[in-house]
Amino acid sequence: MSILARALAACLLGGLLGVAQAAERPEEIVIGITAFLSGPASVFGEPGQAAAEMIIDNINAQGGIDGVPVRAIYVDEGAGGEHVVSEYRRLVQQEGVSAMLASISSGNCNQIAPVAEDLKMLNIMWDCGTQRIFEEGDYRYVFRTQANATPEMVATVLYLLKTKPDFQTIAVVNQDYAWGRESWKIFSTALKALKPDVQVVAELFPKFGAPDYSTEISRLSALRPDVVLSTSWGGDLDTFVRQSAQRGLTGMSTFVLPLAESSLQRLGKDLPEGVIVGGRGDHYFLHPEFRDDPAFQAFSAEFREKTGAYPIYPVFHMAQALAALQKAYEIALENSEAWPDTEALVDAMEGIEFRGLTRPVRLREDHQGLEDQLLGTTVHSDTHDFAVLDNIMIFPADPITTPVGQISEEWVETLDPAMLEMEVDTYQHGQ
């Protein structure tokens, strides 16, 4: 009769389906994955989704996990924080998911962690980098299968000081949200600890997803800082670098972009030489230690054929998260005959060690992943129509990650300049 009545009947039907929970061996393992599938950040979410689909297809091709096929449901972070939280809750309560891989944005990770703990749902933070979650609370159901802001920023400072030890001024243009603000706090504190005489000439925080940086670029062009740092990523980073290159700012200052590994191919020739680039972990499609590894080459080729692009760090992070989940199921199945429920999976995740496509990662007792950090400097090459990395250094995770139980911003203040002498594996592009 009225729309109202039909709508209510529909949701009654939907409700009944959700009530039957999976008790024993399910006929499929459903996992929820949140990622940016719209907006400027979709240049991250789409490859992440493609990687997940590819890996899950491969798992199912070998009969799934212990014979049970895996299915993924994707939630678009682009629809805003509230949508992600309510969709997350709907998946857990109505779709009966066994695990959740949540999210790219640090903001969403902050909001989801307590909700996951509340819903008692295994939650793997597959890409977000905010270190505050594990430092401000201890979680049973929340894990991070990759590093966090601290090792990434400390490694970047070390690489910057090893390659350009005598720069005087620096400016920052970060996105105005959790990641942008916190990463700058850690980077600037570490830099002051290791090189106290550096002067910060400008701190700019344009809106997340801002389409136009012309005013910021004009201001930086006038100030001419030695170094311009930006931890922005995805579409925002592409826009910022393109507009800076157009107006010659990249020629005047050394750009330090700790997340630009993900933009190399998209920026093409717009990304000049001499830019310091990081990959939030040891992720690089020409990774010196794994370039010749057959599994790495096979994955990279299959991914390129499916998406037309080389894998970027969100792809490696997705691979790591799924590898960890698979390993957890293996461990849980070894421990007991019954099909692992969430509690069994969570116990298996404690202190787990696993390998995605590059160096292995180990989870500490505070559920934080220890992941080595790779950085390099861009150089144009004749083999690819976009910049590749030279003078690559890989920093071991342990010395540059905040010890368990300490707060990053305080620990970073105590860094000792002697750290600069740290011995690090270094590779030139040719090798």
Partner 1 sequence: MTPQLLWLATLDGVAYAALVFLVAVGLTLIFGVLRVLNVAHGSFYAIGAYTAASLGIAISSGGLPGWLSYPALILAAVLIGTLLGSLIERQLLARIYGKEEVLQLLVTFAVFMILEDVQRLVWGVQPYFQDTPLRLLGTMEVAGVFYTRYQLLVLPATALVVLVGLRLFLRHTLQGRVILAVTQDREAAMAMGIDAHRVYLTTFVLGASFAALGGALASPTTALVPGIGSDMIVLSFAVVATAGLGQVEGAALAALLMGLGRSFAVYMYPEFEVLMPYLIMVVVLLIRPQGLFGVAETRRI
Partner 2 sequence: MLRALPPVILALLLAVLPLLATWTTVVLTLALAKGLAVLGIVVLLRAGQVSFGHALYFAASGYAAAFLAGSLGGGEVLVLLLAGLATSLLLGLAIGWFVVGYRYIFFAMLNLAFSMVLYSLLEKFFHITGGSDGLRVPRPTLLGMTLERAEFELGLFYLTLGLAVLAAFLVHRYLASPPGQALAALKTNETRLEYLGVSARAVFLGGYLISALLAGLGGTLQALVQGLVTPEMGYWVASGELVFIAILGGAGHVIGAFAGALVYEFVQIYAAAFAADVWQLILGTVLLLIILFASRGLVGMYQDLWRRGEGKEAAP
Q: Which residues bind partner 1 (CB under 8 A)?
A: 37-40, 42-43, 46, 78, 203-207, 209, 211-212, 214-216, 218-219, 221-222, 235, 238-239, 242-243, 246-249
Q: Do the Cβ atoms of 130 and 186 come closer than 8 Å?
A: no
Q: Which does 301 bind (CB under 5 to 8 A by kind): partner 1, partner 2, none?
A: none
Cβ nearer to partner 2, comparing 208 with 303: 208
CB of 207 to partner 2, least distance (A): 7
Cβ nearer to partner 1, comparing 205 with 296: 205
Tokens linked to 260: 């630009």
**Which helix (H) or strand (E) covers residue 319, if one does?**
helix 313-335
CB of 41 to partner 2, least distance (A): 12
Residue ranges binding partner 2 (CB under 8 A): 1-5, 7-8, 10-12, 14-16, 18-19, 38, 76, 79-83, 85-87, 89-90, 93-94, 105-108, 110-111, 114-115, 118-119, 176-178, 181, 205, 207-208
Matching residue, tokens 């750009």: 255
Q: How many CA atoms lie within 13 A of 312 on its CB side?
A: 26
Cβ nearer to partner 2, comparing 30 with 424: 30
Cβ nearer to partner 1, comparing 103 with 320: 103
Matching residue, tokens 């929970």: 21
Helix (H, G, I), strand (E, B) or coil at 325: helix
Q: Which does 43 bind (CB under 5 to 8 A by kind): partner 1, partner 2, none?
A: partner 1
* Length reported for the chain: 431
Q: Which does 235 bind (CB under 5 to 8 A by kind): partner 1, partner 2, none?
A: partner 1
CB of 28 to partner 1, least distance (A): 28
Using CA atoms, how far apart are residues 384 and 387, in angstroms rounded to an integer? 7
Using CA atoms, how far apart are residues 176 and 271, in angstroms rounded to an integer? 23
CA distances from 254 to 67, 69, 249, 284, 420 (A): 52, 49, 9, 21, 20
CB of 218 to partner 1, least distance (A): 5
Q: Which does 166 bind (CB under 5 to 8 A by kind): partner 1, partner 2, none?
A: none
Q: Which does 340 bind (CB under 5 to 8 A by kind): partner 2, partner 1, none?
A: none
Cβ nearer to partner 1, comparing 246 with 428: 246
Cβ nearer to partner 2, comparing 82 with 197: 82
Dihedral of CA atoms 91, 92, 95, 97 in degrees, nearest 10, equals 110
Dihedral of CA atoms 156, 103, 360, 404 in degrees, nearest 10, equals 70
Cβ nearer to partner 2, comparing 86 with 335: 86
CB of 43 to partner 1, least distance (A): 7
Q: Which does 61 bind (CB under 5 to 8 A by kind): partner 1, partner 2, none?
A: none
DSSP secondary structure letters along 13-63: HHHHHHHS---SS-SSEEEEEEE--SSTTHHHHHHHHHHHHHHHHHHHHTT
CB of 363 to partner 2, least distance (A): 24
DSSP secondary structure letters along 215-270: HHHHHHHHH--SEEE----HHHHHHHHHHHHHTTHHHHSEEEETTGGGGHHHHGGG
Cβ nearer to partner 2, comparing 11 with 418: 11
Find the angle CA(387)-CA(152)-CA(45) to the nearest 5 degrees: 65
Q: Which does 106 bind (CB under 5 to 8 A by kind): partner 1, partner 2, none?
A: partner 2
CB of 185 to partner 2, least distance (A): 10
Closest C-alpha among 329, 289, 256, 243 to residue 426: 289
Q: Which does 381 bind (CB under 5 to 8 A by kind): partner 2, partner 1, none?
A: none
Q: Which does 137 bind (CB under 5 to 8 A by kind): partner 1, partner 2, none?
A: none
